[in-house]
Amino acid sequence: MKTTAVLGSKSPAILAQDAGFSEHTLLNAIGAAGEGVMTRSTFSLDLGQKKPSVAKVNELFKARSGKDLNDLTARQFTACMVMADAINRSKSGEPQAIRDALAATDLPGEQTIMPWKRVKFDESGQNNDCTPVLLQRRGDKYVTVYPAEYAVADVVWS
């Protein structure tokens, strides 16, 4: 990223697949060269503008950790909530009962902090209703630009 900036090369768009592009360490290291970069993610903190639960959970998380939720911690939080729900519905601590409850999970997306349609596992254990978001770097942060129902800004093309 720094080399392309030094060479004066600027693509109209750079779309990354999560990984390092979602980490603030990379973005701090490349500075202005990261302006406008887009990345796929499973979570964005600005979802709190459309889903109040995101802001509330982040407030609680930040009070304990000193950090905001991110892609990884939001997924971990959601996994814990799904597991707690399954354990409660299993009505026992028996592994098979918990597994059966997990398999029967059908949690509406509105009841999560994620931009997902729902949490429901298919026969192979995949949740096919995970809806990603596209984020674009603006200054020192990412903003959600897609899908429309969660976008807080329009895409800016270079």
| 51 shares its domain with 34 | no
**DSSP output for 23-65:** -HHHHHHHGGGGTT-EEEES--GGGGGT-HHHHHHHHHHHHHH
**Same domain? 122 vs 61:** yes
Residues 6, 141, 76, 17: is their CA dihedral positive or negative? negative
Domain region containing 118: 46-130
Check whether residue 23 and residue 65 sit in a common domain: no
Shared domain check, 103 and 58 = yes
Does residue 146 share a domain with residue 71?
no
Task: Please name the residue ranges forming H helices in the chain.
Answer: 2-6, 24-30, 52-65, 71-90, 95-103
Q: What is the spatial distance between Cα 114 and Cα 45, in angstroms, rounded to a whole number?
A: 10
Instruction: Print pLDDT tens along the chain (158 aa).
Output: 778 778 887 777 787 876 677 777 787 888 888 888 899 999 999 999 999 999 999 999 999 999 999 888 999 999 999 999 999 999 988 999 999 999 999 999 999 999 999 999 999 999 999 989 999 999 888 899 999 999 999 999 87
Q: Are residues 118 and 139 in the same domain?
A: no
Q: What CATH number corresponds to the domain at position 21?
A: 3.40.50.2300
Whole-model pTM? 0.84
How many structural domains does the chain have? 2
- For residues 109 and 156, state if they share a domain: no
Same domain, 91 and 70: yes
